Amino acid sequence: MASPMNGSMPVVTPDNWFDRLARRAAGEGVSRRDAVGIFAGTTAMAILGSLVKPGSALGATVTQGDPGCSGKRKPYTPGCPKPVPKNNYKPGENGCGPQKGFDPVPDRPLNVANFNSACNGHDRGYGTCNVPKETTDKLFLGDMVMICVNQYPITGPESATSLYQCTRAAELYYQGVKELGATPYKDGQSEGCDCCEGECPGGTIKCNGQCCPPAGQYVCGSSGLCCADCQPGWIKCPYPANARCGFGCCMPGAPICCPGMQPGSLRCCNGKCYKGGCG
């Protein structure tokens, strides 16, 4: 499970979130009188839990998707316009702890149930390119609830109390990844995704749904069509008279863009603008 860690040290020390989980779950002190009420509520939870499709089948229900990229594949970075799954990549899994370093998160919280398989499914979800974090977190909760329901079938108040404790631990694990799992999720996506740039032969850009020519550097002009970009070092100047592109290019020796003598025309100057020309 991608846990709330930063590097090799816990985010919260020494009062880490699992210590708080243990105190909250174990210290609630459910009395036998209260167990009758809990029995009714937990029975309903068990029925609902039986309707949850377990995410332990994540490998079958959530796939890496179409790995195709007709442009250039580059290392994934946040903000990538088109993340695509890495070729032949299999997300890692390591149970209910961080990928490395100090591990305060046991597979069996308070010995109520073994959540290892649910945590492995959570690892796979975070490392599966383009699967939303919320989807993976909810599947994680559904998996843990199913584990609790299967381990503690309700036969009376005592088993209902055990199921209650188990589902409370599951809920707290879920809250942990929901609130503190943003960085592990980004790390998982970075490991599982490439960034596809270009989508056109040669990695060129696409304007209005059309790929620009593979030779040369192109940008999308004011009309949305492909326009040859200015050469390196040249100055791009607004040029409304060019209806297709909306810009013109001035060479480095004339780095000032001036309006020309005619309305909408362009003049490139190496000094300053003066009455539609160069001063």
Reported in sequence order, the residue ranges of 26-139 that DSSP labels E, i.e. its strands, are 72-75, 83-85
The Cα 254–Cα 270 span in angstroms is: 4
Q: Is the pLDDT of residue 193 over 90?
A: yes
Q: Can you tell me the distance from the alpha carbon of 97 to that of 119, in angstroms, rounded to the nearest whole number? A: 8
Q: pLDDT averaged over the chain?
A: 74
Using a cut of 0.75, tell me whether the model's pTM lies above it: no
* Model confidence band, residue 154 (pLDDT cutoffs 50, 70, 90): confident
- Which residues are within 8 A (CB) of 265 and not within 5 positions of it... i.e. 6 or more apart? 241, 259
The pLDDT tens digits of the residues spanning 206-258 come to 888 888 887 788 889 999 999 999 988 899 998 888 889 999 999 988 888 98
35 and 157 Cβ atoms separated by less than 8 Å: yes
| 84/93 Cα distance (integer angstroms) | 20
Mean pLDDT across 34-38: 39
Q: In terms of pLDDT, which residue wins out, 177 or 79?
A: 177
Give me the pLDDT at residue 105, please: 65
Torsion angles phi and psi, residue 158, rounded to 5: -65, -45
Token pair belonging to 67: 């790995």
Residue 203 is predicted with a pLDDT of 65
Give the tens place of pLDDT for each residue, 95-153.
886 654 434 467 677 678 889 999 999 999 999 999 999 999 999 999 999 999 999 98
Neighbouring residues of 187: CB distance < 8 A, sequence distance ≥ 6: 2, 99, 126
The residue among 139 and 49 whose pLDDT is bigger is 139
Say which residues have a Cβ less than 8 Å from residue 34's Cβ, sequence separation at least 6: none
Task: Give residue 134's pLDDT.
Answer: 94
Residue 39: phi and psi, rounded to 5, are -55, -45
* Pick from 70-79, 178-187, 258-267: least confident: 70-79
- Work out the percent of the chain whose per-residue pLDDT is above 70: 69
One DSSP character per residue, 118-135 reads HHHHHHHHHTSTT--HHH
Domain boundaries defined on the chain: 5-197, 201-278
What's the CA angle centered on 11, arms 8 and 17, to 5 degrees?
120
Does position 167 have pLDDT exceeding 60, yes or no? yes
Confidence of residue 14 (pLDDT cuts 50, 70, 90): very low
